[in-house]
Amino acid sequence: MGKRLLVVSAQLSHCRTVLRLFDDPAMFVYTKQYGLGTEEEDIFIRCLSVLSNMADQLYYPCEHIAWAADAKVLQVDATRWWTLSTALWVLSLLLGVIRSLWTALKLRQKLWNPTGAFTSQLPRSKRRAMEARMWSEVLTLLSNLADLANAVHWLPQGVLWAGHFPPWLVGLMGTISSLLSMYQAARAGGTAEADSSR
């Protein structure tokens, strides 16, 4: 079972790597539009997002070079570029975990008062929207944690738990992350479709 999960995870990971070859323009446009996040109300989230965007912007070309080296398109040391891209991935995931946790906790504070009851002042539609966003952040948090566990595992040995995961656990973490990402994408698509039909 562990080997099967690892195969599924590896194939999904390879698919995502190839698809990310086309993500550079979109990532650049997003980073440029976000800028320093002046429209973000929470300065802590703004700082996390700017750092995360920088890590992601550097991650993409590093991963592309590593992929090209594995495919024998470029004659460079693939291991060095995979290590660099993985380190940037770890940084981006760690920032993402902190951002999702912070956002989810902030939303929870707005939704529930100190006694644990719903905040009655909020309109029902706004409360539902905040609940949906909070659970979206929780799912993102779980997905990032699963990816972070694997990302650290793929770093050079000697860094935390790098290289210590058994194959079944690597496959399980990767599969969980992929399934959560696909669920969120499908959920977001369904929400957008429902909004457009109103």
Cα separation of 62 and 82, whole Å? 7
- Gap between the Cα atoms of 156 and 83, Å rounded: 7
Over residues 53-67, the mean pLDDT reads 91
Per-residue model confidence as pLDDT tens digits over 128-175: 888 889 999 999 999 999 999 999 999 999 999 999 999 888 888 988
Task: Specify the 3-state DSSP secondary structure of 36.
Answer: coil
For tokens 């429902």, the residue is 194
Q: What is the mean pLDDT of residues 11-27?
A: 77
**Residues 81-136: tens digit of each pLDDT:** 999 999 999 999 999 999 999 999 999 888 876 555 555 576 778 888 888 899 99
Q: What is the dihedral of CA 177, 180, 185, 186, to 10 degrees?
A: 140
